[in-house]
Structure 1
Amino acid sequence: MLNLVISVVPILLLIWMMTKKNALPSHIALPVTAAIIGALQLFYFGSDLTNLSANIIAGMLSAITPISIIAGAILLNRTIALSGAEDVIRQWLETISRNQVAQLMIIGWAFAFMIEGASGFGTPAAIAAPILVGLGFNPLKVAMLALVMNSVPVSFGAVGTPTWFGFGNLGLTDGDLLTTGRNSAFMHAIAAFVIPVLALRFVVSWQQIRRNMLFIQLSILACTIPYILFAQWNYEFPSLIGGAIGMAVSILLARFKVGLEEPETTADHAVSHIPFGQVVKAMSPTLMLIAILIVTRIQQLGIKGMLNDATPLFNLNLGFLGDLSVSQALIIKLSNILGTETAWAYKTLYVPALIPFFLVVLISIPVFKLPKTTVKRVFSETANRIKMPFVALVGALIMVKFMMMGGENSPIMTTGRAFSDLMGTNWQFFASYLGALGAFFSGSATVSNLTFGGIQQTIAHTVGLPETTILALQSVGGSMGNMVCINNIIAVSTILGIANKEGYIIKRTVVPMVLYGAIVAVVSLFI
């Protein structure tokens, strides 16, 4: 019993620190929690100091993967914004339809769906929300819509990072990861019949929603059908491809007014025509991003194998630090850290940072003829934005490493067994909410999966529930937790110039989040 209390108290403390009245930011709360768990490992659980230190090093190095992806996503976002391409995209989308529901579904749903699949990490809200505000929608209402809409695609956001990286420490086979992805895609798709509709209600009336319901559901299906189909054989592309197809179909539906009522015309609002060439140029970074991701992720094309080539290029002994190796595909690996079995690796060319984000940014600079001052601003703003997330991710990953130390007696295993004893086979009705809790305090579905994936796996094994179903519920939970995530709320509020409305937003977005969990719990019974 004491082991359980000692294991759970740091997590409860973390939740309290990040949700109390004067909440601590994640870049303080997560490292503090990691330090507390490290002290408990050392002085209560009796862990070896060398092993503890090795896990600190591995945790710090592991943060390079997500932070490099975040940096690349922000670089691209700032390039699109500061080049003027964002304004062109906004003006073009306005010419497609004046119907408010159509605009919200094309930009807030389908476009954000695609951007989440490509980059994730809050980028959809950063790009889509300002476009919607530019179209005349209320910033506070847009913030809530963006938070709720950006949930369905998140399990496969940033080319599947929450899945392949978030569950990367659990020893799953590629087949297990694929099945987990299939299950989560199916759960998300069923919930998607309801969730976007609830998101729309933040901005427009029920009457408008009812009058445009056919278009809404067709737009939803245009994203979720290819989303489910791609999830059958790949856990990187479902959101990216689903969003791209969904956006194209939604635009066509809006062009031909399928399922849409005629909007009221206003004489004082003239919509200027945007030349098609200008639109293509503005969309070129996003189109390049998608094309490069597809080419580098399809196994049959051969490039994926080249980027993952583990053939040694050279090896270097770093003494007590461990053994450093670099492969022909520039996979950097540090083995035997501090003489322990702890290891770390970074796939330089395959992690979607240098390729495609940084590459697309380098190509876009001459395409948009950006002056040196603008380029400097793009990189400086990116550097400023990633400082605190980097600290938070280091704290989160070290915390996860510490939670998993000790094998069968580790804090994560102890907590998992306690949950399984309490809930038994009924755990699947609550599993998604644990994932949502992880995203709530960490600000990331990926970190939620890193933090609670082990607990969910342990519970599944202990009570005899299907591992891949429970992990899918964890993944869906981490995604729906984006609706109430403090970090995301602060980020989108800052972008839209909203002050001191975090509590107001959470009180309203928590309702669709709770409903989401109930829907996927029922769906999980049929998997």
Structure 2
Amino acid sequence: MTKKRSMASQEAIPLCALVIYLISLFYYQFPAIEVHAKIISGLLSALTPISIIAGAIFLFRCMEHSGALAQIKVWLNGVSTHSIAQLMIVGWAFSFLIEGISGFGTPAAIAAPILFSLGFPAVKVAVFCLILNTVPVTFGAVGAPIWFGMSVINISENDLAGIAKSAALINAAIAPFIVILGLLFVVEKASIVFRNLLFIMLSIFACTLPFVIASHFSIEFPTVIGGTVGIVITILLAKYSIGIDSKDAEEDDSITKIGGLALLKASFPLWGTVVLLFVSRIEEFGLQQLLRLSQPALQFDIPLLGELSISVSLVFTLSNILGTQESWNHSLLYIPSILPFVVIGFMTLIWFNSASSGLALEDTKTKMKYPFISLLAAMAFVNLMMMGEEKSAVQTIGLALSSFSQEYWTFFAPFLGALGSFFSGSATISNLTFAGIQLSIAKQLSLDSQAILALQAVGATMGNMVCINNIVAVSSVLGLHNRDGEILKRSFLILLVYGVMAGLFGILVL
């Protein structure tokens, strides 16, 4: 995927899946029935990223066909025509907020097409949004990467809080460097360093300071709080040109202001999405439990395949796949696809009296052709890489890394966390997979366990920029074909910088 004449992801990833399939059968000698059960589980698990990407594409197309996107562009240009201001509002602050509410890789999938519609180059925008969708992933959707990701290890609430605070601090300290590196992919160096650095820094700290402060009191809401405060402050900074060199702003006398009610209507796809995500993610509203009810309402015994059950909340569960202990679970209404993307998309068309639902659906179908193949293969690949638990290929890689680094493991710990996110596409799953082995390595090498686990969490967040699921999602929404390898290669360079900084921070500070 990353060579000069690159192979498309829908070709490369199935080949990788085939290779690990053969390795699983003939090198690890896992029972064939269990290998095939893992593949089936992986293929079914692909419904999650596939549905999210399809929902995001559909919402964006509804915004486009209804005219809402055009009006949002007018409003953004009314706030500021400055390229850096627009990048920081949409790609940084807005994405920060969406990550705290939703997770699942949705921030980049929503922010990238908005920036593209403003005239930024598609590949550069894709890389930029992936790079910036790292720091807020520390706590992800209502803290899941921390409280759920670390649930596999036996640690106290105080230790968990300490891990969360340390991870938040490290990511916040690295954020200015990573944001600037991300901006360098889109705008020229002089504009960043010499003319608009104050605005960039104020925008970064507007999100990260509340984020770090909130991490001392909660492990669920730091990202939501940081994003909420950050987007308000960033918009105000941009509107009043604080820290911005006006010479860099594009002069456009044709720009018109839109009224408050018109803006409320035009931005409905965005604030409607945020509100619906917020209501469905916060436990106190009660909707979260309702959408995730797993008590079977219908049950079917599918010969040779397994036992399928469907709950009243449309939670699909396939257990005893091929007679093994392998199972699959899919919460159709909880995963951010139908709710909020599809629902908000249709509501947008209705509000704008647009009869373009057919066009939006057709666009979505066309754009999903190649990602569909890539993601099916990717999830089968991931499941096989993680098969065997402590004897899995992923664990083998992790142990080899720790054996190689020995007492310098503090420096390398973030890279193991990133490896988990790269394979699985999730910081939460990376922490679930590697928290135990990180703790074991820390004890074997007499290292500070809390520090190592904090670096694992940092690594899991930075790996978000290179995971195949997110790259495929962003390129699909932008309509890019056969550019996944190019995006991966560019993002990987920033991952290395992020990892080195995190490792050094761990050695010097923790």
Q: Does 1:308 align with 2:292?
A: yes
Residue 291 of structure 1: how far off its partner (Å): 0.9
2:197 partner amino acid: M
Q: Name the counterpart of 2:59.
A: 76
Q: Does 1:253 align with 2:258?
A: no
User: 2:149·2:430 contact (CA, 8 Å) conserved in 1?
Assistant: no
Q: Match of 1:194, SS?
A: helix
Q: Which moved more, 1:273-282 or 1:305-314?
A: 305-314
2:113 partner amino acid: I
Residue 486 of structure 1: how far off its partner (Å): 7.0
After TM superposition, the structure 1 = structure 2 runs for residues 127-146 of structure 1, keeping only pairs within 5 Å, are: 127-133=113-119, 145-146=128-129
Q: Does 1:51 align with 2:51?
A: no
Q: Does 1:282 align with 2:260?
A: no
Match of 1:193 among 172, 176, 183: 176
After TM superposition, the structure 1 = structure 2 runs for residues 328-367 of structure 1, keeping only pairs within 5 Å, are: 328-367=312-351
Q: Does 1:461 align with 2:446?
A: no
Residue 179 of structure 1: how far off its partner (Å): 7.4
Residues 108/64 of structure 1: CA separation in 2 closer, same or farther (3 Å cut): closer
Q: Name the counterpart of 1:95.
A: 78
Cα deviations by residue, 1:14-51 (Å, 9 ceiling, x for unpaired): xxxx2233322222222222222222222232222221
Residues 304/414 of structure 1: CA separation in 2 closer, same or farther (3 Å cut): same
Identity, % of aligned positions: 34
Match of 1:414 among 386, 396, 410: 396
Residue 388 of structure 1: how far off its partner (Å): 2.4
| CA distance in structure 1 between the partners assigned to 2:279 and 2:4 by the alignment | 48
Q: Name the counterpart of 2:20.
A: 37
| CA distance in structure 1 between the partners assigned to 2:304 and 2:483 by the alignment | 50
User: 2:371·2:472 contact (CA, 8 Å) conserved in 1?
Assistant: no
Q: Does 1:474 align with 2:453?
A: no
Residues 263/63 of structure 1: CA separation in 2 closer, same or farther (3 Å cut): same
Residues 361/432 of structure 1: CA separation in 2 closer, same or farther (3 Å cut): same
Q: Name the counterpart of 1:9.
A: none
User: 1:322·1:335 contact (CA, 8 Å) conserved in 2?
Assistant: yes
Tell me the TM-score normalised to structure 1 length.
0.80
| CA distance in structure 2 between the partners assigned to 1:83 and 1:252 by the alignment | 28
Residue 378 of structure 1: how far off its partner (Å): 1.0
2:457 partner amino acid: A
Q: Does 1:62 align with 2:45?
A: yes
User: 1:424·1:463 contact (CA, 8 Å) conserved in 2?
Assistant: no
Q: Match of 1:355, SS?
A: coil
Residue 472 of structure 1: how far off its partner (Å): 0.8
Residues 491/32 of structure 1: CA separation in 2 closer, same or farther (3 Å cut): same
User: 1:113·1:240 contact (CA, 8 Å) conserved in 2?
Assistant: yes
Residues 268/306 of structure 1: CA separation in 2 closer, same or farther (3 Å cut): closer
User: 2:147·2:219 contact (CA, 8 Å) conserved in 1?
Assistant: no
Match of 1:126 among 99, 112, 115: 112
Residue 308 of structure 1: how far off its partner (Å): 2.3
Residue 501 of structure 1: how far off its partner (Å): 12
Residue 185 of structure 1: how far off its partner (Å): 3.6
Residue 283 of structure 1: how far off its partner (Å): 0.6
Residue 69 of structure 1: how far off its partner (Å): 1.7
Residues 348/422 of structure 1: CA separation in 2 closer, same or farther (3 Å cut): same
Q: Name the counterpart of 2:375.
A: 393
| CA distance in structure 1 between the partners assigned to 2:245 and 2:322 by the alignment | 67
Residues 416/268 of structure 1: CA separation in 2 closer, same or farther (3 Å cut): closer
Q: Match of 1:89, SS?
A: helix
Aligned residues: 496
Cα deviations by residue, 1:413-472 (Å, 9 ceiling, x for unpaired): 3332222211124233234445556777x7x843x8758973675354234363632431
Q: Name the counterpart of 1:427.
A: 409
Residue 478 of structure 1: how far off its partner (Å): 0.9
Taking only aligned residues, the RMSD between alpha carbons, in angstroms, comes to 3.9
User: 2:88·2:200 contact (CA, 8 Å) conserved in 1?
Assistant: yes
Residues 179/333 of structure 1: CA separation in 2 closer, same or farther (3 Å cut): farther
2:116 partner amino acid: P
| CA distance in structure 2 between the partners assigned to 1:69 and 1:82 by the alignment | 20
Cα deviations by residue, 1:487-514 (Å, 9 ceiling, x for unpaired): 589669866x9x99986x8887665443
Cα deviations by residue, 1:302-342 (Å, 9 ceiling, x for unpaired): 22222222333233333442222223333221111122111
Residues 222/388 of structure 1: CA separation in 2 closer, same or farther (3 Å cut): same
Q: Match of 1:342, SS?
A: coil
Residue 281 of structure 1: how far off its partner (Å): 0.9
| Gap runs ≥5 in structure 2 | none
Q: Match of 2:329, SS?
A: strand
Q: Match of 1:323, SS?
A: strand
Q: Does 1:379 align with 2:365?
A: no
| CA distance in structure 2 between the partners assigned to 1:515 and 1:195 by the alignment | 8
| CA distance in structure 2 between the partners assigned to 1:275 and 1:522 by the alignment | 50
| CA distance in structure 2 between the partners assigned to 1:264 and 1:410 by the alignment | 52
Q: Does 1:24 align with 2:3?
A: no
Q: Match of 1:258, SS?
A: coil
1:45 partner amino acid: Y
User: 2:438·2:456 contact (CA, 8 Å) conserved in 1?
Assistant: no
Q: Match of 1:369, SS?
A: coil
Q: Name the counterpart of 2:302.
A: 318
Q: Match of 1:30, SS?
A: helix
After TM superposition, the structure 1 = structure 2 runs for residues 512-523 of structure 1, keeping only pairs within 5 Å, are: 512-523=494-505
User: 2:368·2:476 contact (CA, 8 Å) conserved in 1?
Assistant: no
| CA distance in structure 1 between the partners assigned to 2:264 and 2:56 by the alignment | 20
User: 1:336·1:342 contact (CA, 8 Å) conserved in 2?
Assistant: yes
2:266 partner amino acid: A
Q: Which moved more, 1:81-90 or 1:19-28?
A: 19-28
1:123 partner amino acid: A
Residue 398 of structure 1: how far off its partner (Å): 1.8
1:342 partner amino acid: E
Residues 52/92 of structure 1: CA separation in 2 closer, same or farther (3 Å cut): same
| CA distance in structure 1 between the partners assigned to 2:60 and 2:81 by the alignment | 26
